[in-house]
Amino acid sequence: MYDKGQGVPQDSGEALKWYHLAAAQGDAVAQYNLGLMYAYGDSVPKDYVQAHKWFNLAAATDTEKEDRDKAVKERDDVAARMTPAQIAEAQKLAREWKKQ
Protein backbone atom coordinates (compact mmCIF):
# COMPACT_ATOMS: atom_id res chain seq x y z
CA MET A 1 0.00 0.00 0.00
CA TYR A 2 2.50 2.61 1.17
CA ASP A 3 5.13 1.48 -1.32
CA LYS A 4 2.94 2.25 -4.31
CA GLY A 5 0.57 4.76 -2.68
CA GLN A 6 -2.47 2.50 -3.09
CA GLY A 7 -5.27 3.95 -0.98
CA VAL A 8 -2.80 5.96 1.10
CA PRO A 9 -0.17 8.57 0.29
CA GLN A 10 3.03 6.98 -1.03
CA ASP A 11 5.54 6.72 1.82
CA SER A 12 8.61 4.52 1.34
CA GLY A 13 9.62 4.85 4.98
CA GLU A 14 6.25 3.59 6.13
CA ALA A 15 6.43 0.80 3.53
CA LEU A 16 9.81 -0.22 4.93
CA LYS A 17 8.34 -0.49 8.42
CA TRP A 18 5.43 -2.66 7.28
CA TYR A 19 7.63 -4.84 5.07
CA HIS A 20 9.87 -5.54 8.07
CA LEU A 21 6.85 -6.51 10.19
CA ALA A 22 5.47 -8.79 7.47
CA ALA A 23 8.90 -10.29 6.74
CA ALA A 24 9.21 -11.18 10.42
CA GLN A 25 6.00 -13.18 10.01
CA GLY A 26 7.56 -15.12 7.13
CA ASP A 27 5.92 -13.23 4.26
CA ALA A 28 8.03 -13.95 1.16
CA VAL A 29 6.64 -10.98 -0.80
CA ALA A 30 7.68 -8.60 1.99
CA GLN A 31 11.11 -10.24 2.12
CA TYR A 32 11.47 -9.82 -1.64
CA ASN A 33 10.39 -6.17 -1.47
CA LEU A 34 12.90 -5.50 1.31
CA GLY A 35 15.55 -6.99 -0.96
CA LEU A 36 14.56 -4.55 -3.68
CA MET A 37 14.62 -1.59 -1.29
CA TYR A 38 18.14 -2.44 -0.10
CA ALA A 39 19.40 -3.30 -3.60
CA TYR A 40 18.31 0.04 -5.03
CA GLY A 41 18.64 2.24 -1.95
CA ASP A 42 14.92 3.04 -1.74
CA SER A 43 14.36 4.74 1.67
CA VAL A 44 17.46 2.99 3.01
CA PRO A 45 21.13 3.26 2.12
CA LYS A 46 22.01 0.84 -0.68
CA ASP A 47 23.20 -2.31 1.07
CA TYR A 48 23.94 -5.40 -1.05
CA VAL A 49 24.50 -7.59 2.02
CA GLN A 50 21.00 -6.84 3.31
CA ALA A 51 19.53 -7.14 -0.20
CA HIS A 52 21.14 -10.56 -0.67
CA LYS A 53 19.90 -11.68 2.75
CA TRP A 54 16.30 -10.70 2.01
CA PHE A 55 16.30 -12.17 -1.51
CA ASN A 56 17.78 -15.38 -0.11
CA LEU A 57 15.08 -15.57 2.57
CA ALA A 58 12.34 -14.85 0.02
CA ALA A 59 13.65 -17.62 -2.25
CA ALA A 60 13.68 -20.06 0.66
CA THR A 61 10.21 -19.05 1.87
CA ASP A 62 8.19 -18.67 -1.32
CA THR A 63 6.22 -21.70 -2.47
CA GLU A 64 5.46 -20.37 -5.97
CA LYS A 65 8.17 -21.45 -8.44
CA GLU A 66 7.92 -18.27 -10.53
CA ASP A 67 8.27 -16.01 -7.48
CA ARG A 68 11.06 -18.15 -6.04
CA ASP A 69 12.93 -17.99 -9.35
CA LYS A 70 12.52 -14.19 -9.39
CA ALA A 71 14.04 -13.92 -5.90
CA VAL A 72 16.92 -16.21 -6.88
CA LYS A 73 17.61 -14.09 -9.98
CA GLU A 74 17.66 -10.86 -7.95
CA ARG A 75 19.89 -12.48 -5.32
CA ASP A 76 22.31 -13.66 -7.99
CA ASP A 77 22.31 -10.22 -9.67
CA VAL A 78 23.20 -8.59 -6.35
CA ALA A 79 25.83 -11.27 -5.63
CA ALA A 80 27.59 -10.35 -8.88
CA ARG A 81 28.34 -6.93 -7.32
CA MET A 82 29.56 -8.34 -4.01
CA THR A 83 32.81 -9.72 -2.70
CA PRO A 84 32.96 -13.32 -1.45
CA ALA A 85 33.21 -11.97 2.11
CA GLN A 86 30.02 -9.91 1.65
CA ILE A 87 28.17 -12.93 0.26
CA ALA A 88 29.31 -15.02 3.21
CA GLU A 89 28.10 -12.30 5.60
CA ALA A 90 24.70 -12.14 3.86
CA GLN A 91 24.32 -15.90 4.06
CA LYS A 92 25.27 -15.86 7.74
CA LEU A 93 22.71 -13.13 8.44
CA ALA A 94 20.00 -15.11 6.61
CA ARG A 95 20.79 -18.27 8.62
CA GLU A 96 20.72 -16.30 11.89
CA TRP A 97 17.45 -14.60 10.93
CA LYS A 98 15.82 -17.96 10.17
CA LYS A 99 16.81 -19.27 13.62
CA GLN A 100 14.91 -16.46 15.37
Q: pLDDT per residue over 13-37, tens digit each?
A: 777 888 999 999 999 999 999 999 9
Instruction: Select from 10, 96, 12, 4 the least CA-distant residue to 50.
Output: 96
Q: pLDDT per residue over 57-86, tens digit each?
A: 999 988 889 999 999 999 999 999 999 999
In what helix (H) or strand (E) does residue 90 lie, and over which residues does it extend? helix 84-99
- Predicted local confidence at residue 42, as pLDDT: 81
| Contact (Cβ atoms closer than 8 angstroms) between residue 35 and residue 47 | no
